[in-house]
Amino acid sequence: MASVLDYSEGTTLLHRANPVTKVVLAVCVCVATFLAQGYGMLLGVLLFLVALGAYAGILRRTLALLAGFLSLGALMLLVQTVVVRSGTPLFLWVTDQGLDRGARVALRLVAFALPLVMMLSLTRLTDLANATVEVLHVPYRYAFTITTALRFVPIFSQQMAKIVEAQTARGVDFDTPNPLRRLRLMLPLAAPLLISSVARADDTALAAEERGFYLRGRESSYKRYPFSAVDLACLLPGVALVALGALF
């Protein structure tokens, strides 16, 4: 089953760029989002991300992610309209300032989360770990911990799906149309998931240790991660975006 964090094959500039460059580009987008004040700029950032997705051949995934984050953003919008009480009332409890603040928060949330997840689907986790160790001098054990945690996310969500499946077959009504009830039913299953996850993480740690984990240093990686013109090409739009964000 393909998950949003799975690496997507390709040969575009974004695929070929140094993993560190991709992290920097994603961070640039986040910074630009943070600096941007106007709707035009925020929407522009989202458009830029969709265009990047299309270029890298992950348009469908980008749009699916966008839809997912937008629904989360809609929830944020709703919360903000309730929290913000200043401004002129428009309808029900919503004020014009509340709506404005909510919409900005929602768009920022989406534009913040999307580039980070997109970066992960265009970078192999091993490359990300190796490059951060080589280029940024991050100690390997931290790089390994973070990338392994990311690698486990889809594995655990599959595991949870299987647990839910087994419980449904047993008669627990996970197929109820009520989402709150579903959530309440899911809570007690956190224990079995946690137990199997901890056991698995410990096994992976052992497997890594038995293949020389503690010997690994900056020079160990077979693949090298030098910077090239490709990285410059990827960084320029990022820098431009930050400048635009500061201006608009």
Partner 1 sequence: MSQQGPTNPLVSLDRVSFTYEGGGSPAVDDLCLDIAPGDFLGVIGPSGAGKTTLCSVLSGAVPHHFAGEFRGVATVCGMDSCEVGLTDVSRKVGSVLQDIDAQMVASSVEDEMLYGLENFGVPHDQIPGRIGEALATCGISGLLHREVATLSGGQKQKLAIAAILAIRPSVMVLDEPTAALDPASSLMVFQTLRELNRREGITVVVVEQKVALLCEFCRHVAVLREGRLALLGTPREVFSHSEELRSMGVDSPRVTRVSNLLRSRGLAREGDVSLTVGEAAALVSRVVGERGSLAWAATRPPLRLEGGRRHGEPTALELASDPMLTFDHVGFSYPGGTASVEDVSLELRPGELVAVVGQNGAGKTTVTKLMNGLLKPSSGRVTIAGLDTSRARTSQIAQHVSTLFQDPDRQICKETVVEEVAFSLQLLGTSDAEALSRARDCVEHFGLPAEAAPFSLGRGQRQIVALASVVVTNPEVLILDEPTSGLDYRECMTVMEAVEVARSRGCAVAMVCHDMEVVSDFATRVVVMADGRVLADGLPGEVFADEGLLARACVAAPQVTQLARRLSADVSRGYEGVTEVHDIVAVTEGLVG
**How far is Cα 6 from Cα 123, in angstroms, rounded to an integer?**
9
Tell which one of 59, 151, 244, 246 touches partner 1 (CB under 8 A).
Answer: 151
183 binds partner 1 (CB under 8 A): no
203 binds partner 1 (CB under 8 A): yes
12 binds partner 1 (CB under 8 A): no
Subset of 112-131 contacting partner 1 (CB under 8 A): 124-126
Count of residues engaged in binding partner 1, rule: CB under 8 A: 50
Q: Determine contact, residues 109/73, Cβ cutoff 8 Å.
A: yes
Residues in the chain: 248
| Helix, strand, or coil (residue 227) | coil
Q: How far is the CB of 223 from partner 1 (least distance, A)?
A: 8
146 binds partner 1 (CB under 8 A): no
Q: Determine contact, residues 240/29, Cβ cutoff 8 Å.
A: no
DSSP string over 151-166: HHHHHHHHHHHHHHHH
Q: How far is the CB of 189 from partner 1 (least distance, A)?
A: 6
Alpha-carbon torsion, ordered 154, 159, 164, 167, to 10 deg: 180
145 binds partner 1 (CB under 8 A): no
| The two structure tokens encoding residue 186 | 């899911």
* Residue ranges binding partner 1 (CB under 8 A): 2, 6-7, 124-126, 148, 151, 154-155, 162-163, 165-176, 188-189, 191-192, 195-196, 199-201, 203-204, 206-216, 220-223
